[in-house]
Amino acid sequence: MAVASEIEDNCLNSTNHLIEFIDALQQQVVNFTGVARIPFRYPERPTITASIGGQKFELLLDSGTRLSVLKLDANEKPPIGLHFVGSDSALADLDGSRQLEYPDHSLKYAEAALLSSGELRIRRLPFRIYSYADGRPPSDFAGSLSVSALRDFVVGIDNDAQEVCIQEPGSYQPARTAAAIPMLQLHDMLLVKAQAGQGELLLMLDTGYSGEILLSDEATRKQDQALTYTGKLSAQYSGFHGEIQGNEFLLDDLKFTSQPWPGLASGTISQGMLAGVAIEAELERTALGQLDGILGAGFLSRFNYAIDQSRGVLFLQER
């Protein structure tokens, strides 16, 4: 268990300190001092209550998407300061020159002149806009803030205090009981390697996925002896890979090997009895190998953790 002093190390007092004017497109910081601490409402689901043009949105902090997402009602006036773009390839990971149509919404791209949340200010933040003709579907979240927009900073999630902590890498001090897990970055995907019963797994870190772990068809075949199927079909989840549903299982053990880090012990972190979903599909084939699955917010809720993109490290501290 973490003691109060160790938790406080990760979330330094931010009185009179500001993160100001982060250019999300150019990844440049115009002015930055101290640490921003932002409380989140839902236990173990880090969110940011953000304002765009005076309109408030509850945004899920999401490491599984390159662009931030905003869901809008097509019949309502969009927020002031949200500028729609048609062909800016820097904003679009798809063909931004054409509007893509889906059964219940259209896809557009926009840039927010300013997003603010307490002490956090982000200028020129690109968004993928889902515009719903029949009204925005019911949800606790109006969209997501991509963790990649904060790639110059350490983004800490204190699940015990329900706070998001954002600070410069040079000022961040992990708790003494934390472990430094190597994190690979590829096309804004954050990847970690783990060991399961039948070998290594390459997993994408996705804080937007509420489950613990999701495995592809090929990965579940390789790990079959380490999985215990419950005989139940999972609830449907809508994500970057489309509508996801599969067979539920329990994974008896998942291990991560930490790297040396000043002041931290190196070794292995082991977690047992992970609730997972096996889908009958394959995920991306990357330059680092076949993606085996997704590690979601459900797994990360076992820890207080910090994502350090600038140094390629995921800090995990068991709760």
* Whole-number CA gyration radius for the chain: 19
- Report the Cα–Cα distance between both ends of the chain, in Å, rounded: 5
Distances (CA, A) of 120 to 35, 51, 207, 233: 9, 10, 20, 40
d(CA 145, CA 246): 27
Task: Give which of 127, 215, 166, 144 is closest to 33, Cα–Cα.
Answer: 166
Residue type, 184: L
Task: Count CB atoms within 10 A of the CB of residue 249.
Answer: 24
CATH architecture of 4-153+164-170: Beta Barrel (2.40)
Asked if the domains 4-153+164-170 and 174-318 are classified in one and the same CATH topology, the answer is yes
Distances (CA, A) of 267 to 11, 51, 80, 180: 25, 42, 50, 9
Domain ranges of the chain: 4-153+164-170, 174-318
Q: What is the pLDDT along the chain (319 residues), one digit of tens a residue?
A: 233 333 334 443 343 344 554 555 555 555 555 788 899 988 888 999 999 999 999 999 999 988 899 999 999 999 999 998 764 444 444 444 444 455 667 778 898 998 998 778 888 898 989 888 888 888 889 999 999 999 889 999 999 999 999 998 988 999 999 999 999 988 778 999 999 987 899 999 999 999 999 999 999 999 989 999 999 998 877 654 456 789 999 999 999 999 999 999 889 999 999 999 999 888 888 888 889 999 999 999 999 999 999 999 999 999 9
Task: Count CB atoms within 10 A of the CB of residue 150.
Answer: 22
d(CA 316, CA 178): 5
Positive or negative, the CA dihedral 68, 74, 75, 79 is positive
Total-model pTM = 0.85
Q: Which CATH class is domain 174-318?
A: mainly beta
